[in-house]
Amino acid sequence: METYRNYINGEWVESRSAKTAPNLNPADPKDGIGTIRLSTADEVRAAIEAAERALPKWRSTPAPERGRIIARAQQALARRKDEVAQALTREEGKLLKESLGEVQKSINILEFMAGEAMRLAGETLPSELPNTFCYTLRQPIGVVAAITPWNFPVAIPCWKTSPALAAGCTVVFKPATLTPASAKLVVECFVEAGVPAGVLNLVYGAGGEVGRVIVEHPAVRAISFTGSNDVGMRLAQDGVAQGKKMQCEMGGKNPVVVLEDADLELAAEGIAQGAFGSTGQRCTATSRVVVMEAVADRLVAMIAARAPAEIGPVVDESQLKTVLGGIAEAKREGAKLVAGGGRGPGAGWFVQPTVFDHVKPSMKLAQEELFGPVLAVLRVRSFEEAMEVANGVKYGLTSSIYSGDPARIFRFVEGIETGMTHVNSPTIGGEPQLPFGGMKATGLGTREMGRTAIDFYTELKTVYVDYTGRKRESNIY
């Protein structure tokens, strides 16, 4: 069994901490993969200080050269695609085809962001004053921390670290303790690509301990976090109080609205894919179906028939208890169980794909993120009621509508309170060149991915160049 080491100032260093956590295979918890040492506060500070020392040289490295390092990391990840996917499946539980999909998305993210280093553009704007040239430019914000979850342990580190590096920031990367091998492999690809010592640092550790040091250290200028709302909001409050720039991507309770004119075969396929793919353990997963009463019976039967025979396990025993507890609560509240509802086969942390019908908007299953393969069906009688129910949660990440009516489709697109939406396709997915993020309680700060990703990691500077060569008679500003 491997003991995972931190990567600090260009060296792989074993933590001196006596606190450890096991890395277990969720499909077979007897399969011990490795051991994580939970870094001490001094080790986290050492990583931050290494990033601080490396910052001046890295920020002065031409942006296109920074982009070439990201491109070489992308090539390294492409060469190691199968290896990384197998490690991801073993420690997180995704089916291998799902892991291969995540690694390919990560490759695409790095490919796009390598190009963005060539496009760190400002703009030129006319001045009200004669003989004055005005323009803006982007500069790196400084040392940043990337705190990432276990559910996409390759893709999310890639979409946080690569724009930071492209912008000229140095990074302290704190991954989830449940997926240390994936984090190590991502960093190895950047090391192979030639990232200089101190520019990218990896520290394992408990979220509270590492997070506290990151929040309190004055060298850290910005924190990008993906995870639960409870943790994210506490982190945001503490970070803002310390004057840090914050970006938090948190929960989702994503609806699919199905109107009476929808292609039900298409809708059922998309809903099943969105609800049960990756065992429902993604923030963009479909967790609610808001369906017109006239077609609800047919749609529910079609979804239940498409519940997959094979899905991966949930990530650990704690998550298993959470999901099974949510199923039990839905039964107590009176939702109608249509499919699944119990543990799956095998010794691992498996849950059956589960469908509940006749869920009321006030029920816990309709309001709170469960993060498992559990789908709530809510029946409505009008488009207006569908919109009210779809928007009637605190989250606002992604959504979808199935319909052939252009008028109602565009009313939905304009009225749905989510940062992303889909028409006649599942709630899941996101392309590297497009912004990713949500509204309301889901998102705090600027969007990730796409060209907007750079915004979080840069400061915008406005420059006035006066080329009159003499004192101005007056200047109202």
The yes-or-no answer on residue 249 being catalytic is yes
**In 3-state terms, what secondary structure has residue 7?**
strand
Q: Which residue has the tokens 């995540």?
A: 102
The yes-or-no answer on residue 283 being catalytic is yes
The DSSP secondary-structure symbol of 236 reads: H
Please tell me which residue in 158, 169, 189, 283 is annotated as part of the active site.
283
Sign of torsion, CA 383 384 387 388?
A: negative
Q: Which residue has the tokens 């790196």?
A: 140
Please tell me which residue in 102, 116, 249, 369 is annotated as part of the active site.
249
| φ and ψ at residue 102, rounded to 5 degrees | -65, -40
B/e letters for 242-278, b = 16+ CB within 10 Å, e = fewer, are eebbbbbbbbbbbbbbbbeebebeebbbbbbbbbbbb
For residue 379, what are the β-bridge partners? 291
| φ and ψ at residue 400, rounded to 5 degrees | -155, 155
Q: What is the DSSP string of 49-102?
A: HHHHHHHHHHHHS-HHHHHHHHHHHHHHHHHTHHHHHHHHHHHH---HHHHHHH
Q: Nearest CA to 326 among 362, 289, 367, 273?
A: 367
How many angstroms separate the CA atoms of 236 and 442, rounded?
13
Measured CA distances, 310 to 30, 38, 274, 307, 353 (Å): 21, 34, 15, 9, 9
Cβ-in-10-Å burial (0-12, 13-18, 19+) of 412 comes to buried
Q: Which residue has the tokens 């060469």?
A: 79
Encoding tokens for residue 394? 């605190």
The DSSP secondary-structure symbol of 436 reads: B
**What angle, rounded to 10 degrees, do the helices at 96-116 and 155-167 form?**
10
Q: Which residues are catalytic?
A: 249, 283
